[in-house]
């Protein structure tokens, strides 16, 4: 009812000034009725919000295919990110993404509901910054620092040094992560050399299957999103040539998309998987090195490659 009243007031343009600025600093009293309208802010809020204060989350936040915190949000009602969905909860803080619909964000600002947006994190520093942004908006800075410390510790544990094996991070639709994307940074953090060297704003390039094979990565890290749903995008990863290459010449690791679709602290899970792959590959290489007494870079052919299907 209150939502409806606010809406009428807004539409008639009587009550509120058109550009009521949302308070950028945290209010004196920490917010108690938080609504998140974006998957990425859902994930952050699940970590940071005080119990019982998160009143509604974006529908994808409750979907195990997309959200690493889905199991913790099942009891929270979903919204579809529209103003109509938000108002009935009478929020005193809305969490959104910088890429959320600008019309919705503008309406929220004009109504005067405090708004905090997270940004598209492209580096580990961005991930920390997002945690701090949301923690500050929630008035829970301490909790934020704890989460950051946990994240930093997990990333430190996954750090691998040196000129490691070559790798490509290949996903549905045939896109590969560039070094300046978050996934590219995790690759180098865990000691891999990304065979993709081009960088661009989007953080993705689109090598065809033959290009992937020609780059000869020793590790194929495959981004896996909703493995049960059929799509042409996914059929690409099952291309016989790529499968043969994976079986004969390369190691393979699967990276569930829910941990990296939003760059949040959960990318540490991706780093852990890659670090484990790195360890397995370097162990294997060391064994071969001692066996063949050949420099490892020259010892790779069909017979003695690093692949899991090694004969």
Within residues 237-296, the interface with other proteins by CB under 8 A covers 239-241, 244-245, 248-249
Tokens at 306, concatenated: 């690093």
Q: Which of 133, 124, 150, 64 has its CA nearest to residue 96?
A: 133
CA distance 303 to 290: 16
CB of 45 to other proteins, least distance (A): 23
Is 129 or 304 the residue whose CB approaches other proteins more closely? Answer: 304
Q: How far is the CB of 228 from other proteins (least distance, A)?
A: 8
Least distance between other proteins and beta carbon 40 (Å): 17
102, two tokens: 């600008």
Binding to other proteins (CB under 8 A) within 197-236 occurs at 200, 205-206, 208-211, 213-214, 216, 225-226, 228-233, 236
CB atoms near residue 159 (< 10 Å):
11
Nearer to other proteins, 85 or 172 (CB): 172
| Closer residue to other proteins (CB): 74 or 297 | 297
Q: How far is the CB of 128 from other proteins (least distance, A)?
A: 29
- For the chain, how many residues are written? 311
Q: 91 or 305: whose CB is closer to other proteins?
A: 305
Interactions with other proteins, residue window 18-77 (CB under 8 A)? 65
What whole-number distance in Å separates Cα of residue 127 and Cα of residue 148?
A: 9
5 binds other proteins (CB under 8 A): no
CB of 70 to other proteins, least distance (A): 15
Pairwise CA distance, residues 215 & 250, whole Å: 12
Closest among 226, 220, 271, 263 to 242, alpha carbons compared: 220
> Total residues at the site for other proteins (CB under 8 A)?
34
C-alpha span between 311 and 139 (Å, rounded): 58
- The residue within the footprint of other proteins, chosen from 5, 15, 291, 302 (CB under 8 A), is 302
In the complex, the smallest distance separating the C-beta of residue 66 from other proteins, rounded to whole angstroms, is 9
By CB under 8 A, which span of 103-111, 138-146, 168-176, 285-293 interacts with other proteins? 168-176
Beta strands in the chain (DSSP E): 34-36, 54-58, 78-79, 93-97, 115-118, 166-171, 176-177, 193-194, 204-205, 219-224, 251-256
Residue 160 CB, shortest distance to other proteins, in Å, is 25
61, 36 Cβ separation under 8 angstroms: yes
- Give 174 or 256: the residue with its C-beta nearer to other proteins: 174
Residue 173 sits in the site that holds other proteins (CB under 8 A): yes
Query: b or e along 205-223 (b: 16 or more beta carbons within 10 Å of the residue's beta carbon)?
Result: bebebeebbebebbbbbbb
Q: Are strands 34-36 and 54-58 parallel, antiparallel or unpaired?
A: parallel
**Taking the complex as a whole, how short is the minimal distance between the CB of residue 204 and other proteins, in angstroms?**
9
How many CB atoms lie under 10 A from the CB of residue 292? 12
Q: Which is nearer to other proteins, 51 or 230 (CB)?
A: 230
Contacts with other proteins by CB under 8 A lie at: 65, 172-175, 200, 205-206, 208-211, 213-214, 216, 225-226, 228-233, 236, 239-241, 244-245, 248-249, 300-302
């Amino acid at each position: 009812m209150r939502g409806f009243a606010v809406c009428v007031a807004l539409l008639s343009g009587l009550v509120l000034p058109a550009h009521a600025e949302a308070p950028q600093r945290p209010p004196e009293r920490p917010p108690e009725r938080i609504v998140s309208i974006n998957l990425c802010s859902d994930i952050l809020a699940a970590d940071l919000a005080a119990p019982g204060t998160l009143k509604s989350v974006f529908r994808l936040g409750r979907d195990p295919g997309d959200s690493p915190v889905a199991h913790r949000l099942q009891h929270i009602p979903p919204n579809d990110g529209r103003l109509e969905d938000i108002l009935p909860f009478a929020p005193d803080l809305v969490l959104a993404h910088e890429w959320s619909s600008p019309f919705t964000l503008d309406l929220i600002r004009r109504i005067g509901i405090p708004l905090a947006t997270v940004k598209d994190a492209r580096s580990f520093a961005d991930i920390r910054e997002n945690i701090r942004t949301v923690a500050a908006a929630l008035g829970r800075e301490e909790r934020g620092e704890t989460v950051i410390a946990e994240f930093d510790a997990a990333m430190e544990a996954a750090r691998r040094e040196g000129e490691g094996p070559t790798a490509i991070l290949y996903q549905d639709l045939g896109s590969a992560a560039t070094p300046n994307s978050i996934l590219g940074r995790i690759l180098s953090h865990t000691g891999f050399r990304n065979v993709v060297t081009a960088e661009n704003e989007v953080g993705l390039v689109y090598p065809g299957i033959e290009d992937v094979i020609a780059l000869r990565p020793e590790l194929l890290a495959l981004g896996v999103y909703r493995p049960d749903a059929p799509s042409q995008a996914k059929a690409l990863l099952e291309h016989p040539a790529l499968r043969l290459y994976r079986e004969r010449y390369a190691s393979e690791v699967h990276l569930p998309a829910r941990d990296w679709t939003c760059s949040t602290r959960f990318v540490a899970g991706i780093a852990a998987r890659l670090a484990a792959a790195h360890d397995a590959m370097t162990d294997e290489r060391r064994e071969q090195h001692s066996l063949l007494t050949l420099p490892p870079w020259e010892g790779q052919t069909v017979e003695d490659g690093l692949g899991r299907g090694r004969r």
